[in-house]
Amino acid sequence: MRAAPGEPALDGPTASGVLSGGGAASAASSTHAGAPAAAAHEYADPTTPVTSAHGTAVPAAAPAAAPSYAEVPVAAAAPFPDTARPTPAPYPDPSQPAVASYAYPSQPGPPPFGDSARPVPPPYAGGDQPVPPSQGAGGQHPSGAHTDPGRPPHGSQGPWQNYDPWAASGPLQQNGAAVDDVARRRRRRGRTLVVGALLIAVVAGGIGGAVGAYLERNGGVGAIELPQTSDGVTGRAPDSVAGIAASALPSVVTLHVSGDSAQGTGTGFVLDERGHILTNNHVVDPAGTGGDISVTFSGGETAEARIVGRDTGYDLAVVKVSGVSGLKPLPLGNSEEVQVGDPVVAIGAPFDLANTVTSGIISAKERPITAGGESGDVSDVSYVDALQTDAPINPGNSGGPLLDGKARVIGINSAIRSAGSGSESDGGQAGSIGLGFAIPINQGKRVAEELINTGKATHPVIGVTLDMDYSGDGARIGDRGDGNGSGVTSGGPADRAGMRSGDVITEVDGQRVHSGDELIVKVRAHRPGDRLELTLLRDGRERTVSLTLGSSGGD
């Protein structure tokens, strides 16, 4: 093909590109030797028909105005020999399988460009790109697809479509298919939102469960404030344990006794405003004749005390404090009126724990007990016709008051029965097992009065010497008494009543007696001068005698 005058020839593959399928040839560029490098943008002669791959003449496009360039000599391109021009193969090739369309059914294919059966042009030598098709005025590509009267409409092209890079088709995915339509994208977005909401709900539920478990284990967050209720009542009924304790505590004292070889702790209570205090003899016994006795009141005040009088047979003692004012004596009740089951309150200093209050009931009355005798003789044995209580009494409670429901003293706590021996030689003192014993206050009152008034107490006697080795039932009068005399004291109450040695006393005022100790306890429960009725056995025959109790000096 000849070049137009003044234009480079378009026959060579380096100078032009054949337009195939309506496509455009890229501008040829060349550099002439001995001239400055310049890009020459040239297009094929619009007046020259271009032969398509099928041999059908394609109508020439309207001529476009050639841009004006500086006059630069351009070397003529070598002609492309006609004999060397490759002949395009017919398209489609019958030997090749049909190519399926990759467009989505819901998406229209790219706009047609040229005949659907037009083959792809062969590669060009030198890697030059095809020249774009004829452009409109101003060098702009005309909108829409090129029209060809001999080509079928777009919709009838079938699956054989060529891709037009300038067509207004949708964006391509990696597989070359068009992007989903708006409805599909909305459905996909909706599914994504649902899955995201489910994930958020699962995570939130897990976090909430963890927080709930933590709060349940730890009781919440922050400082803990526990609920508290109050009825606003601070007073107590006078006959309640609290009311009794509040009334009696100011009159109860703790005694600390020390001597040359022993020391101990016990309890006492105030008898009068002059400072007399009643306690047990075994509490003050460590002081002897030169020891110290310190009295501590419930309010913490302390005072020194001295012994006024004491008696081992009754296990009672009276001490007195000086220089103390405002003392409050405890009222004394009547132990004869006490009934089994009556509520009682015990106050003391068990194991030196001052102002300890316990409560219980009267478990029994007239329980004969003996206490003491640790020295090995009978000189320190006390005989008590005691009140039994289950109110806890421990070492240190000795000498403290046993109170009735009106805060009146009905007994003096003196002894306990424990599971162990409780002796100090065993390494310690025994505790309460609910068997406590108290000296009836009627007996305590009489002995205390005698100790305060005379410094000693008197004991009621019947004038006999008992056989303590007798193992039968009852108390037997011994064959010999003091000084190898008769077992019946001459001129004494028993002698005057006609009693003899060998008689066995079985009852005192109708109450059964099983041993000599019980007989002593029953006799000492009375005052000197009281009249008793005794039942005895002599030569297998039972008889009853009456006598008036005599008196002996206490020790």
Where in the sequence numbering do the catalytic residues fall?
A: 282, 315, 398
Nearest to 269 by CA among 325, 319, 344, 337: 319
Residue 53 φ then ψ, to 5°: -65, -25
Q: Which residues of 217-231 are buried (b: 16+ CB within 10 A; e: fewer)?
A: eeeeeeeeeeeeeee
CA distance 500 to 492: 12
Q: How far apart are CA 279 and CA 318, in angstroms?
A: 6
Q: Identify whether the C-beta of residue 385 lies closer than 8 Å to the C-beta of residue 367.
A: yes
User: Distance between CA 10 and CA 4 in Å, rounded?
Assistant: 9
Report which residue type is found at 213: A
How many residues belong to the chain? 555
Cβ proximity of 92 and 157 under 8 Å: no
Q: Among the residues of 101-179, which ranges form H helices?
A: none
Retrieve residue 405's tokens. Answer: 């429901």
Decide: 434 and 392 in contact? Cβ < 8 Å. Answer: yes
Distance between CA 395 and CA 95 in Å, rounded?
125
Q: How many contiguous H segments (helices) and E segments (strands) does the chain have? A: 6, 21
Strand partners, 295: 255, 303
Determine contact, residues 301/254, Cβ cutoff 8 Å: no
Q: For residues 206 and 2, what is the distance between their CA atoms, to the nearest angstrom?
A: 83
> Would you list the DSSP string of 382-434?
EEEEEEEE-S---TT-TT-EEE-TTS-EEEEEEEE--SS---GGGTS----SS
Nearest to 254 by CA among 298, 219, 210, 306: 298
Q: 117: which 2 tokens? A: 């059966």
As a whole number of angstroms, the distance between CA 458 and CA 465 comes to 18
Q: Is the distance from CB of 284 to CB of 317 less than 8 angstroms?
A: yes
CA–chain centroid gap for 56, Å, is 98
> From CA 150, how far away is CA 118, in angstroms rounded?
13
Residue 117 neighbours by CB distance under 10 Å? 17
